[in-house]
Amino acid sequence: MATNRRNFVRTVGALAASLPFTSLMNPSYGNAFDNKLAEVEGLDALQLASDEDFWYYVRNSYTVSPNIINLNNGGVSPQPKIVQDTFENYNRMSNEAPSYYMWRILDKGREGMRQKMAELAGCSPDELAFNRNATEALGTVIYGLTLKPGDEVIVTKQDYPNMIHALETTRKARWY
């Protein structure tokens, strides 16, 4: 499968539809998104880039402020509205009966979701970790490094500040 924005969106949409918790998501949104993807099927990248109706639909899938353009998606990437709604629903459920929902409902779906994500990523489930964003993921790797005396991690002042900070706090950075 060619790597492009349309295939990525389609694949992520298909994955979301396959998750065990889809009954809590809004199925009408999923159907509308499938219809919108079908409308742009066959368009090349330049045609899709200029399809204002499609990008208006994508834009309205998020609840970000229309007054600010977010160019920082490393640690503060917005979630689509359907993800926000699902997250809030699980949060409400978990607060209504914490032990019941956490151990009898949510835990049962975790490994199935991990398996499906591993298939999508082309790896085994035990090689997969879930993080909220790129900053958290890179921080997990940095804090987990087991460097020996004499090992070096070379960084520059142009590297992402949160990653520099993580390396500095673990005393793993050497400046050049």
Q: What's the CA dihedral at 82, 55, 117, 64 to 10 degrees?
A: -50
Lowest-confidence pick of 10-19, 41-50, 62-71, 126-135: 10-19
The pLDDT score that the predictor gives to residue 95 is: 92
> What mean pLDDT, rounded, does the chain reach?
78
> Which residues does 63 contact at the CB level (< 8 Å), separation at least 6?
78, 81, 84
| pLDDT of 70 above 80 | no
CA distance linking residue 67 with residue 46, whole number of Å: 27
Please indicate whether residue 176 or residue 62 has the higher confidence score (pLDDT): 62
SS3 category, 36: helix
| Average pLDDT rounded to a whole number, residues 99-108 | 85
Position 25 pLDDT exceeds 70: no
What mean pLDDT comes out for the span 5-20? 52
Higher pLDDT, 16 or 96: 96
- Give the CA-trace dihedral at 132, 137, 140, 144, to 10 degrees: 150
Q: At residue 145, what is the residue type? A: L
The predicted-structure confidence for 74-101, as pLDDT tens digits, reads as follows 667 778 898 899 889 988 988 999 888 8
pLDDT at 92: 92
Instruction: Give the whole-angstrom CA distance, residue 164 versus residue 172.
Output: 10
Query: DSSP string of 84-106?
Result: HHHHHHHHHHHHHSHHIIIIIII
What pLDDT is stored for residue 8 in this prediction? 58
Tell me the one-letter amino acid at 115: Q
DSSP, collapsed to helix, strand or coil, labels residue 51 as: coil
Exposed e or buried b for every residue in 101-119, given b needs 16+ CB within 10 A? beeeeeeeeeeebbebbee
Q: The pTM is what?
A: 0.54
Containing 153, the helix (H) or strand (E) segment is: strand 153-155
Predicted local distance difference test score (pLDDT) of residue 11: 58
- What's residue 19's pLDDT? 42
pLDDT in tens, 127-173: 988 887 788 888 899 988 888 877 888 888 888 888 888 888 876 65
Question: Apex CA 43: angle with CA 40 and CA 46, to 5°?
Answer: 115
